[in-house]
Amino acid sequence: MADSDNMKGSKPSSAQQSLPSRHYPFWFGGSASCMATATTHPLDLLKVRLQTRKPGDPAGMLRTAAHIVKNNGVLGLYNGLSASLLRAITYSTTRFGVYEELKSHFTSAESSPSLPTLVLMASAAGFAGGLVGNPADVLNVRMQSDAALAPAQRRNYRHALHGLVQMVLSEGPSSLFRGLWPNSARAILMNASQLSTYDTFKGICIKHFSMSDNINTHFTASLMAGFMATTICSPVDVIKTRIMTASPAESKGHGIVGLLKEVVRKEGFSWMFRGWIPSFVRLAPQTIATFLFLEEHKKIYRAFNPRIEDALL
């Protein structure tokens, strides 16, 4: 990973201008995402339950949460946690790592990438992350929605590894890539609207509002990035969830276009933002936590790996 370290808003000195971008370990993004996932998993589970809600199921985030706790206990809010962590390890490590490596090639002490360039880099990183993380994403959605199904329809995966093995044995290897295209589209939109806007909002806070590169700036920029990402990704996220949770019988003969027609026929266009509130309530804290953890990773790394050039300033 790379970072310029000197986004203070003031004009850099000649010594600062000669500094190369700092490189950070590739896995920092995945590590930060795992920490964030562990804290926000119940909100992600509620989002999936609402997106796959059937007639007669509780409506609203609080009622859904109460229903889960009543039937499965508090630990029911953590169903599928192992799959969520596996997804963070695969998807987030890839997307953050690729994005930061691409960004390092376009960043110097004198200039930073433009917003369109950041969007393109984030989109490429999102596609790579969506491809690598798709098996864990299918597993994650299934494990989170399993308890809401009738007992005869449940898959009863014990943990992430058991789920992956069962998927391959019962449905074939292709099941690991179910919903790949809507998932990749969502990953592209998520990264384009989250990673690039975080960097953009962070730069705006520092340059135009005289804020320092500290936790207050990181919090503000990540909150705004979370709002943008939730709104832009909502329609694709709903479609992705519907495809991944569909049984083989339900999905037979129904492509993405067929599914869209069926959803619009039954629900109109309100489906596009179904689960938006729990999505934002989940994604905003997760985005904030991810970037705060990521910035702390970088801060600690800088403390233990000072550059000789930094001491000359």
Is residue 117 a contact partner of residue 99, using CB atoms and an 8 Å limit?
no
Q: What is the DSSP string of 7-71?
A: -SSSPPPHHHHTPPPEE--TTHHHHHHHHHHHHHHHHHHHHHHHHT--TTSPPSHHHHHHHHHHH
- 6: in domain: no
Q: Using alpha carbons, select from 252, 263, 257, 87 the residue that is nearest to residue 176.
A: 87
Query: CA–CA separation, 142 vs 137, rounded Å?
Result: 9
Ordered per-residue pLDDT tens for the chain, 313 residues: 656 554 444 444 444 444 456 789 999 999 999 999 999 999 888 888 888 888 888 988 899 999 999 999 999 999 889 999 999 999 999 999 999 999 988 887 778 889 999 999 999 999 999 999 999 999 988 998 888 888 888 999 999 999 999 999 999 999 999 989 888 988 999 999 999 999 999 999 999 999 999 999 999 999 999 999 998 888 888 887 778 777 776 666 567 787 778 878 888 777 888 878 878 887 899 999 999 999 999 999 999 988 655 544 3
Specify whether the CB–CB gap between 198 and 3 falls below 8 A.
Answer: no
What is the predicted pLDDT for the residue at 6?
47
Classify residue 297: in a domain, yes or no: yes
- Total number of domains in the chain: 1
> Tell me, what's the pLDDT at 3?
60
Domain CATH code at residue 257: 1.50.40.10
* Within a domain: 312: no
pLDDT at 247: 72
Question: What local confidence, expressed as pLDDT, does residue 257 receive?
Answer: 80
Asked if residue 242 is part of any domain, the answer here is: yes
Question: Is 311 part of any domain?
Answer: no
pLDDT at 18: 43
pLDDT at 12: 43
Domain that holds residue 209: 24-306
Residues 6+ apart with CB under 8 A from 8: 206, 212, 213
59 domain residue, yes or no: yes
Q: Going by C-beta distance under 8 Å and a sequence separation of 6 or more, which residues neighbour residue 83?
A: 136, 139, 140, 142, 143, 144, 157, 160, 163
Residues whose CB is less than 8 angstroms from the CB of residue 130 and which lie 6 or more positions away in sequence, other chains included: 91, 137, 180, 183, 184, 185, 186, 187, 188
- Asked whether the beta carbons of 7 and 202 are under 8 A apart, the reply is yes
Asked, for residue 91, whether it belongs to a domain, the answer is yes
Residue 159: both structure tokens together: 């943990």
pLDDT at residue number 5: 53
